[in-house]
Structure 1
């Protein structure tokens, strides 16, 4: 296949959508397909262009794949309106590149990665000029998430306009995929789901992320004793995470000297969080910068437990991609989510789920896991096994390849390839602990 990947985020970004887009592109290229990418200069999660990149039209080759980059406007502190302008600026600047690649490359499939829904017109034109197929993969319902966070007023003129625009744009795709069952149901609710609407989950390379037999070398580098219980949040720092709950739980556990919180990542709320922690005298919180990819396994293994806070009002508009790496590291996860959400369903296979916005319950859960290391280890082993069974990179991407070939090249001989089901059910779960006040051992 000839695949043109079109999206806002790509390597060298190592968090969020960019990580998965890059890994998918490289996998398809290594499988023998011809892949090109149209993207923006790397800027996420710091919300500023990575040096030495320039905010202009450029091209380069990464892992044998030619990458075309278009400039965009990057706000220092994104708001609802600024985010919309940010997304639209890339859609406008990249449109000529997409038209050029349509004639020059003539792709069988144009894969558009959301959150860049405003790029759908450019992707649609590229496929119609070449009789290719337009594939929209939704990692994040950006408009729904913005409304859930209060960035777009419910029922407001801007919200209604963007919802109407989103529906019209979605209807122009030949194929739509998304990463979870409940995000699939959102497509049903938006009346855009059909026979060519599939679930395509994120994955994890379990050979790169795995439990270490010895303490992580970062413990010594950061001055953390081996007997200290580490509660780690790692990844991008944004409003949808509701990271204030970690600061509040740390305040409740300030007298427990053997429990250490670490917040590792980048994002515009970081300075505010550091200032709040300083004002409260929370010396049990260590802030660290985003670590390079080669140190990711050491970082994830520094944890005794991973923290995955998520605001309740965005629980089913996004599914945190960082969960896969947390599970693969063989450490349990404590997530905040309501029962019945997709996040609760997944986390229950190797962690504990508590009610959102309840720092007291988070502190109690951490303290009881600290006092029950065997139970903590048991949950971590379940997490690792689930990652191996449900999110193995080769299995997920090979299955996708099979179905994409059938979809875009119907006369191609596939031999004995395995067929995917268009809308598979939620992942199996034999153990679904949902923690209540004062009870972590159920």
Structure 2
């Protein structure tokens, strides 16, 4: 680059949040900084998935730091301890208002060459869209979560037509970017319908961490957590409504007679205590907090089988960010999803899929993989190979940097719908 382009990224989630959108936005920003861009990030204070601001950032102030070459501005927005629907709206609105004020100041003091808005939050992305229009800046909108559709599918919005209409209107405003991307083909198709055109839409998937690889030795967590049973069914990540985690409790009860199997649930979120209360009397289930990111490979290597529950109706509204790392660990997955969905196709030959909310089928799939050693080994090898081919971090982020550079300079090399980081992808695949 002959000019050091200035990029402003706006989104509530960023490091040190350990899971979800935060690590993805962080990887995006740090890749651009390493490529020579001047990068600023406007984000919230870290609070996900615990719904509690980490102790370092609990003072009511704006935090400014430089992290791995990225200038980070963290805003003290409202974080509810119990994220009800109304409190979630206030949570996202408070970030959007603060972010809009900061972005306005940055436009005057250090005007960027382009903006990248992350959804969630659609409210903040809508504000970024307005600013980009006013200041005639290129805007890239990256959709990690179809907020309106997800809120409707999980019942968070309720049946009010005007509330649904308002949520969809905000999302339409947020999607007015020069480039719009999302993390799966189905989500890209949703965006194409929302924008009435597939032009300018790209699939920008999440990626597997390079340090997550299959381990042949016993995981260090076996000794640390005193897990003596030979087989482990592992769920790791956020524990919220869209995950449908109650099926794990149901399966654990159905398999309580198996003294060779331990269910390990490692994570946090608004439904964790509810899950603990529902299964606290079972001796084949253990709960643990989220573990450090640098130990993720060892944690995922603890699994004999990964568990990936999803409720009906959300499989094509989100592709779990944990999936690439699960595959990279070389362990098969049992998921509750329909075969015709993106997630179902992604798991073909990498695991077993059963209908959502069918606990007996979920339990039977777990036992099948435990008892069929050749099948388990084959699916695990396929999973690791698929992660290497489709979820390579370097290829995906280098592809994003090239695309963003073309948008910034006005030399859009690929206006049609395609997948970043892999050749041969086609719309609707």
Cα deviation code 1:60-109 (max 9, x no counterpart): 12222111011211112112222111111100112121112222332222
Q: Does residue 1:30 correspond to 2:30, yes or no?
A: no
Q: Does residue 1:217 correspond to 2:213, yes or no?
A: no
Q: Unaligned 5+ residue runs, structure 2?
A: none
What is the correspondence of 1:95-110 to structure 2 with a 5 Å cutoff? 95-110=100-115
Name the TM-score, length of structure 2 as normaliser.
0.93
Q: Does residue 1:79 correspond to 2:84, yes or no?
A: yes
1:392 Cα deviation after fit:
0.3
1:296 Cα deviation after fit:
0.9
Alignment partner of 2:80: what SS?
A: coil
1:122 Cα deviation after fit:
2.9
Match of 1:69 in 2: 74
Match of 2:156 in 1: 151
1:125 Cα deviation after fit:
4.2
Asked whether the 8 Å contact 2:114–2:138 carries over to 1, the reply is yes
Alignment partner of 1:255: what SS?
A: coil
CA distance, structure 2, for counterparts of residue 86 and residue 376 of structure 1: 43
Alignment partner of 1:92: what SS?
A: helix
CA distance, structure 1, for counterparts of residue 300 and residue 107 of structure 2: 41
1:190 aligns with one of 194, 207, 213: 194
Asked whether the 8 Å contact 1:99–1:125 carries over to 2, the reply is no
1:165 Cα deviation after fit:
2.8
2:96 aligns with one of 91, 99, 104: 91
Asked whether the 8 Å contact 2:62–2:73 carries over to 1, the reply is yes
Match of 2:264 in 1: 262
Cα deviation code 1:105-143 (max 9, x no counterpart): 322221111011101343134434543211110000111
Asked whether the 8 Å contact 2:126–2:173 carries over to 1, the reply is no
CA distance, structure 2, for counterparts of residue 153 and residue 101 of structure 1: 38
Asked whether the 8 Å contact 2:120–2:144 carries over to 1, the reply is yes
CA distance, structure 2, for counterparts of residue 130 and residue 157 of structure 1: 31
What is the correspondence of 1:199-278 to structure 2 with a 5 Å cutoff? 199-206=203-210, 208-225=211-228, 228-278=230-280
1:190 Cα deviation after fit:
1.9
1:423 aligns with one of 394, 418, 426: 418
Q: How many residues align?
A: 419
1:422 Cα deviation after fit:
2.4
- How has the CA–CA distance of structure 1 residues 313 and 176 changed in structure 2, closer, same or farther, with 3 Å as cutoff? same
Asked whether the 8 Å contact 2:31–2:401 carries over to 1, the reply is no
Cα deviation code 1:334-364 (max 9, x no counterpart): 1111121111111224111111101101111
CA distance, structure 1, for counterparts of residue 169 and residue 291 of structure 2: 40
Alignment partner of 1:81: what SS?
A: helix
1:9 Cα deviation after fit:
0.3
Asked whether the 8 Å contact 2:242–2:311 carries over to 1, the reply is yes
CA distance, structure 1, for counterparts of residue 309 and residue 177 of structure 2: 33
**More off after superposition, 99-108 vs 14-23:** 99-108
Name the TM-score, length of structure 1 as normaliser.
0.90
Alignment partner of 1:265: what SS?
A: strand
